[in-house]
Amino acid sequence: MKPHLVAAVAAVAALAATWGLSTAISDKRPVYSGQAKVVGDAIAAIAPSAAGGECQDTSSMMPINTVRIADQLMRTARRSPNVVVPAPSGQGEMRLADIPGTLAEELSRCIATKGAPGPGWERMVARLKTR
């Protein structure tokens, strides 16, 4: 075998070994920015009070965009339930599968404080609880 090919193969093997060791030793969790963005969008559209904001105005009809965002959250939670994302409160982390239930509880609390809900809000709570 030619010496330059042997050197190239050895360099690739050393690089792979270094990468394998660094990922095995690393104690940092992988960052799933796509799922974190989906969760952030869902918090902002469905229950901003979960992140310390004010409750949604649930007395009027729910915007269709909120339904689309909730559907995207539900699909993402079904696809990757064990992915760890930042908690809605911003303190700590949660499994992605637990986010819809947390948002459902917060939205239920907001509906209870605002009085009679507009069309779609109670169905949204039921949809988020079914996951």
15 part of a folded domain: no
pLDDT tens digits for 105-118? 999 999 998 888 99
CB 84 within 8 A of CB 97: no
At residue 4 the predicted structure's pLDDT band, cuts being 50, 70 and 90, is: confident
pLDDT averaged over every residue in the chain: 83
Counted domains in the chain: 1
DSSP category for residue 56: P
Q: Which residue has the higher pLDDT, 124 or 13?
A: 124
pLDDT value of residue 27: 46
pLDDT value of residue 1: 62
- CA geometry: angle 108, 50, 121, nearest 5 deg: 30
Cα 24 to Cα 59: distance, rounded to the nearest angstrom: 51
Burial class (CB in 10 A: 0-12, 13-18, 19+), 99: buried
Three-class SS string for 41-86? HHHHHHCHHHHCCCCCCCCCCCCHHHHHHHHHHHHHHHHCCCCEEE
110 part of a folded domain: yes
> Taking the model in full, what pTM does it have?
0.72
92 part of a folded domain: yes
CB 92 within 8 A of CB 71: no
Closest CA to 96 of 45, 46, 32: 32
pLDDT tens digits for 12-47? 666 666 766 565 555 455 556 788 889 899 999 998
- The residue-averaged pLDDT of 71-88 equals 91
Q: Which of 6-15, 27-36, 93-102, 122-131 has the lowest mean pLDDT?
A: 27-36
Q: Which of 10-19, 26-35, 66-75, 82-91 has the lowest mean pLDDT?
A: 26-35
pLDDT value of residue 32: 64
40 part of a folded domain: yes
Cα 94 to Cα 25: distance, rounded to the nearest angstrom: 23
21 part of a folded domain: no
2 part of a folded domain: no
Domain extent at residue 126: 33-130
Cα 101 to Cα 39: distance, rounded to the nearest angstrom: 12
